[in-house]
Structures are given as C-alpha cells and as structure tokens.
Amino acid sequence: MNIPLKQYWDLLVDHLRVQKGYTTLLVLLLLGSISLQVFIPQLMRYFIDEAMAGDNGTVLVTVAIGFICLALVQQFVAVAATYVGENVAWRATNRLRAELAEHCLRLDMTFHNDISPGELIERIDGDVNELSMFFSRLVIMILGNILLLAAIVVVLFFEDWRLGIAFGLFAVSTIVALNRVRSIAVPHDKALRKANADLFGFLEERLTGTEDIRANGTVPFVIRGLYQLHAHILQCWRKAGNMHMVVRLVAGLTLMGGYTVAFLTGYRLYRDDLLTIGSVYLVLHYTGLMARPIRELTAQVESLQNIGAAIERLSDLRAFQPKIVDGPGAEIAGGPLALTFDNVSFGYVEDDLVLKNLSFGLEPGHVLGLLGRTGSGKTTITRLVFRLYDPTGGSITLNQTNVTQPTLHQLRHRVAMVTQDVQLFQASVRDNLTFFNRDIPDARILDVIEELGLGDWFGKLPDGLDTELETGGKSLSAGQAQLLAFARVFLHDPGLVILDEASSRLDPATGQLIERAIDRLLRNRTAIIVAHRLSTVQRADHIMILEDGGITEYGDRERLVSDPDSRFSGLLKTGLSEVLV
Ligand SMILES: Nc1ncnc2c1ncn2[C@@H]1O[C@H](COP(=O)(O)OP(=O)(O)OP(=O)(O)O)[C@@H](O)[C@H]1O
Ligand SMILES: [Mg+2]
C-alpha cells in the first residue's frame, strides 16, 4: 500500500496557508540554518590547509574565532527554527482538531450509532497528535534535511565533479531506498491504531455501564474481553515493530555505504593530488553531516508511516457527510404547530422497517399520547419529527411545510424534544439550561426555574446559576434532571414538544412537580407524549397505539375510553401494564 505524497502535500498547504507569516519566517530560519551548516566546514578546511602550509598565526586565530561565532549563530538559528516550527505545528493541529470535532458533531445519528465515542476520541485526539508531528517534523526535519543533503551535494560538486556525482548518487539511492521501505509498515501501523481504538471504545462502553456490569456479575467477562483486546494489540505491535526494524536496517546500511564512498573517493583524489588534506577533511565532515539527515529521515519515515495511517483515517472520517442536511430554509410560524405523517416508513437498516406506512394528523395545540410495547417504534417516530433521521418513504409536515424545507436550525428552534434520558453537561446550571446561548437573560432563567418548582433545589446551590453541574447530572435525581430538561424547552419556547417520558419511578413529591411542569409545558403547544404513566396518558387528546411498526389504534382518547371494544379501554382495564413499562 502506498500513501500518495500528494495527500501529505495537500494537507500541509491547506494548513500553512492560514499562517503565512509564521511559515515564511520558518522557511527563512531553515534556509539560514542549512547555509550555515554547509558553510562552517569550509572555514575548517581553510584552517587546516593554512595550518599545513605553516602560515601565520593571526590568520588562524581569526578563522578560529569566526568559526566559533558562526557555530554559535547556527545553533541559535536552529533553536529558533524548531521553536517557530512547533508553533506552526500546534496552530495547525489545533485548527484541525476543532474542525474535526465540529464535523463529528454535525454527522448523523447513523454515524454515531456505528462509531463509538472512544473511537472518535482516538481519531480526534490520537490521530491529530500524530499529525502535529507531521507538521513540526516533516517541515523542519524532512524538508530541511532534504535541502541540506542537496546543498552538500552541490558544494561537493564544485569541489570536484566526481565527488559531486558520487555523493549525489549516494543521496538519491538512500532516498529511493527509504521511500521504497516507507510503505511496508503503514498497514501494520494502521492495524495497531485500530486495535488501540477498539480498546478505547471497549473501555468507554464498559465504564459507562459499570453499574449494570456489577449488578449482573459480568465483571469476569469484561476482564476477559479486555485481555483479548490486549493480546490483539500485542500482536499488532509486534508486527508493526518488525516492519520498523526493517526500515531502520535499510537506513543503517545505506549510511555505511556513504562512509565507504567518502573514504574511497577521498583517498584516491588525495593520492592523485587532486584534493588537499583540508578538502579530504571536508568530504569526511560532509559525510558525517549527511549521516544526520539520513538518520533523521529514517526516523521520520517511521513517523511518516504512522502519520500516513493517521491521515488516511482522518480523511476517511472527513469524507463522511451528513445525509441529513439543511433544507433551503422556510420560516415555521409561531404558536402551536400542526403535524402530519403521510405514509411514512422508516428503518434503521435497509430492508428492516421499524415504521411501516404510518399516516396520522395532529391539529395545533392537540396532544398525542403514543403507546406501544417496548421496541414498537415510539422513540423512532419522535426522532423523525426532529430530523435526527429522515424517513425512507412518505413525508412529515409541520403546518403543511415538509420538515425537510426549513434549515435544521429553523426546525429545531420550533420543535423541542425531551428524551428518555436527559443529558446534562459538565457546565454551569446556566449553560446547561440555555445551551450556551448568552442572549437569554438570567432573570428569565430564574423565572422558569421558579415556575417549574425547582426553586427549593436552586436555593441550595452554592453559586446560583454559576454552580457547575457534574457530567451526566450525577448529583441530580432523575426527576430533577427531567425538570431541568423541561426548563430548557421553556427557554426556547417551541410550537411542538416531544416528550419521551422517562420510565423511571419518581417519588410522589417530584412526581407532582413533574405533573405541574408538564401542564405548563403543554399549554398552547402541540405535543407528542410517549407516556409511561397513566396520569400522562390522561392528558392526551388522541391516543395512538403502535405495534409491529404500524398503528393498531388511533383516535380521540375520550371516544376510545368510552368504547368498550377499543384496545385502549381494554388496556386501561388491565392497568396499561401491557404497554407502559
Ligand atoms: N439507533 C438504532 N439503530 C438500529 N436500530 C434501532 C435504533 N434505535 C432503535 N432501534 C430499533 O428500532 C425499533 C424501535 O425502537 P424504538 O426505540 O423506537 O422503540 P420504543 O417504542 O421507543 O421502545 P421503548 O419503549 O423501549 O423506548 C426497535 O426494534 C429497536 O431495536
Ligand atoms: Mg423509546
């Protein structure tokens, strides 16, 4: 497998274009450092030849002082080049990291279902770190070293054309050899990183489920899985390591070849009186000077291989495009919304429909209670309205406008969804409620908190709205988390509310708070409620019972209650236990 150099180049150009100033400075420093490295040994040669000729001491002392000064300057320039290079690299990688994180957040749920968060972290962090090496090392070392090699060959050519040709051939054959071996380790590195990403994904998932894992006594199974993943990593590691060894071996051999060329040509030219002893020194010194870029190039070839794999995975990731894209834009009017499903079908995977030809309508301000066994597709319906997925057939309209018409922002501004398990972030209460929207005044947030009966809870917070919540809302009860989710909805005042009620049991006091909050939530709004409690079901104007992806019953709730033959009245008699978990 060969990684096209063009890919590296495109990435480099793309990211350096935005920091032209620094890049120019970096190039200048590199060129300065290279020129000095090539020039300084010339002074040494002059010094040796002058000393051999037995010339006066003042010249020698001046040359020696010049040598020391230039050597110091060269060191300084090299340090500056590294500093600026790192700077350029960090800026470029931070930009890339931000770009990728944003890209991932925009991707569809289908993508996030397939790729675990652990794997994404490895992509955005691990692979991007690898790329930071690419930016700093490739520019400074690889390009710098290649330039240095070229400069040495040119200078040697002017010294004696035979030397120029010998060393030119040596440099080219080295680079060709390295380029050849470059690609053999890439697939192994890729496998290794994939194995690491799998481990991350595994750990992430298992640690999130600690409670369930312990409760079910599956700890030994988890550990066994961990061992298996580790064994796999070791295997990949060993293979990748072997490949790297081959690469290093090739570099070592070519270097030995270089010294052989230097000694042979130096000796012959000196013997034939074509070179002075100072010039022979120069040749040997240049060979040593070439050794470093070659050694570093090899090391860089190694990281270039890792980077090649990282670039490939990152461009794979960037190639994912969300299928759910903004519509051309259509304003959805204020106030409660009308909702219709027209012959809607949907499946998460092809040929396995979860919803089949669903049609129903909901007038503005009406509440639809969705009932059905677990897995019957209730949550799926809500996801389609919110455009987390698009239906495979049929259409969904809001106020007669297809939901694909407005932009996602316009749509999600008018539709709010409270999911079964509320996500709270490690951020202040304010940010958790407003989703970082600074336009919402504190007074409004406080009003909503008070209105939802969260006043007591809020009063106990040490820093009011600035109190930091823990990730996942660990310090909150399920009921409180639900109420906070309601508060979010109130703050953005949508015309359609989707409430996927949590099935967790609540204590009576919180239960009452939630009841009151739902009352307010539904006032003057259209709503779909996936109900798990009888009291919630009773708020619905219409009832829909789902089974096997289709509607088994749909109608006015009161009519269904009074119809002794309806499924719903039957369910009420059995305490709804069949459909409410
Ligand atoms: N992200 C997903 N990828 C693939 N299949 C899914 C996904 N989410 C749900 N499903 C499947 O789709 C079907 C409907 O799931 P859905 O979550 O809509 O059920 P539900 O009625 O909300 O159930 P519950 O009452 O348990 O919340 C189920 O068979 C489920 O396995
Ligand atoms: Mg559900």
Mutation to probe ligand 1, out of 109, 116, 354, 374 (largest number of atoms < 8 A from CB):
354
Ligand 1 atom nearest to CA at 349: 4
**358 token code pair:** 């669903």
Helical spans, DSSP H, in 326-407? 378-385
Least Cα distance to 136 among 243, 22, 31 occurs for: 22
Ligand 1 atom nearest to CA at 581: 25
Kind and range of the H or E run holding 408: helix 408-414
Contact residues for 523 (Cβ-Cβ < 8 A; gap 6+): none
Least Cα distance to 243 among 303, 186, 173 occurs for: 186
CB count within 10 Å of CB 493 equals 12
- In angstroms, rounded to a whole number, what is the distance separating the alpha carbons of residues 178 and 438? 55
Q: Report pLDDT for 187.
A: 85
Q: Report pLDDT for 254.
A: 77
For tokens 């931070």, what's the residue?
94
Q: Whose CA is nearest to atom 30 of ligand 1?
A: 375
Mutation to probe ligand 1, out of 371, 380, 498, 529 (largest number of atoms < 8 A from CB):
380
Strands 496-500 and 415-418 come out as parallel
For tokens 């080295």, what's the residue?
174
Least Cα distance to 93 among 55, 117, 124 occurs for: 124
Q: Whose CA is nearest to atom 4 of ligand 1?
A: 348
C-alpha separations of 339 from 306, 397, 544 in Å:
52, 6, 14
Q: Read out DSSP for 537-576?
A: HTT-SEEEEEETTEEEEEEEHHHHHH-TTSHHHHHHHTTT
* Tally of helices (H runs) and strands (E runs) in the chain: 22, 10
In the chain, CATH 1.20.1560.10 covers 5-319
Q: Average pLDDT of each block of 10 consecutive residues along the chain (581 residues)?
A: 63 78 89 91 90 82 92 93 86 86 86 82 82 70 83 89 86 76 78 90 87 85 92 94 85 80 86 88 86 72 70 82 85 89 91 90 92 88 91 92 91 88 84 86 89 86 86 74 87 88 72 84 90 81 90 90 87 68 46
**376 C-beta closer than 6 A to ligand 1:** yes
Least Cα distance to 149 among 118, 170, 133 occurs for: 170
In the chain, CATH 3.40.50.300 covers 339-573
Q: Whose CA is nearest to atom 24 of ligand 1?
A: 374
Least Cα distance to 250 among 307, 169, 304, 175 occurs for: 175
CATH of 5-319, one of 1.10.10.10, 3.40.605.10, 1.20.1560.10, 3.90.550.10: 1.20.1560.10
Ligand 1 atom nearest to CA at 372: 21
Cα of 377 vs centre of ligand 1, distance in Å, is: 6
Least Cα distance to 575 among 529, 514, 515, 532 occurs for: 532
Q: Whose CA is nearest to atom 5 of ligand 1?
A: 348
Ligand 1 atom nearest to CA at 380: 18
Kind and range of the H or E run holding 355: strand 355-362
**111 C-beta closer than 6 A to ligand 1:** no
**113 C-beta closer than 6 A to ligand 1:** yes
- In angstroms, rounded to a whole number, what is the distance separating the alpha carbons of residues 414 and 526? 11
**354 C-beta closer than 6 A to ligand 1:** yes
Cα of 474 vs centre of ligand 1, distance in Å, is: 25
- In angstroms, rounded to a whole number, what is the distance separating the alpha carbons of residues 174 and 290? 11
- In angstroms, rounded to a whole number, what is the distance separating the alpha carbons of residues 291 and 285? 10
Q: Which bound ligand lies closest to the C-alpha atom of 355?
A: 1
Q: Report pLDDT for 234.
A: 96
Q: Whose CA is nearest to atom 22 of ligand 1?
A: 379
What radius of gyration do the chain's Cα atoms show? 35
- In angstroms, rounded to a whole number, what is the distance separating the alpha carbons of residues 397 and 343? 11
Contact residues for 366 (Cβ-Cβ < 8 A; gap 6+): 526, 527, 541, 542
**382 C-beta closer than 6 A to ligand 1:** no
**What's the number of CA atoms in the CB half-sphere (13 Å) around residue 502?**
21
- In angstroms, rounded to a whole number, what is the distance separating the alpha carbons of residues 416 and 408? 12
**569 token code pair:** 């009245």
Mutation to probe ligand 1, out of 351, 374, 499 (largest number of atoms < 8 A from CB):
374
Q: Is 67 exposed, middle or buried (0-12, 13-18, 19+ CB in 10 A)?
A: middle
**327 token code pair:** 């519509």
**67 C-beta closer than 6 A to ligand 1:** no
Ligand 1 atom nearest to CA at 532: 25
Q: Whose CA is nearest to atom 1 of ligand 1?
A: 113
Q: Whose CA is nearest to atom 25 of ligand 1?
A: 374
Encoded amino acid at 150, one letter:
A
Q: Report pLDDT for 231.
A: 95
Superfamily (CATH H level) for 339-573:
P-loop containing nucleotide triphosphate hydrolases (3.40.50.300)
**433 C-beta closer than 6 A to ligand 1:** no
- In angstroms, rounded to a whole number, what is the distance separating the alpha carbons of residues 223 and 492? 45
Contact residues for 486 (Cβ-Cβ < 8 A; gap 6+): 418, 452, 514, 517, 518, 521
Q: Would residue 365 be called left, alpha or beta, if left means φ above 0 and alpha means ψ between -120 and 50 degrees? A: left
**348 C-beta closer than 6 A to ligand 1:** yes
Encoded amino acid at 216, one letter:
N
**265 C-beta closer than 6 A to ligand 1:** no
Q: In the sheet where 542-547 sits, what is the strand order? A: 415-418, 496-500, 526-530, 367-372, 542-547, 550-556
Q: Is 214 helix (H, G, I), strand (E, B) or coil?
A: helix
Q: Which bound ligand lies closest to the C-alpha atom of 545?
A: 1
Mutation to probe ligand 1, out of 376, 389, 529, 578 (largest number of atoms < 8 A from CB):
376
Tell me, what DSSP letter sits at residue 137?
A: I
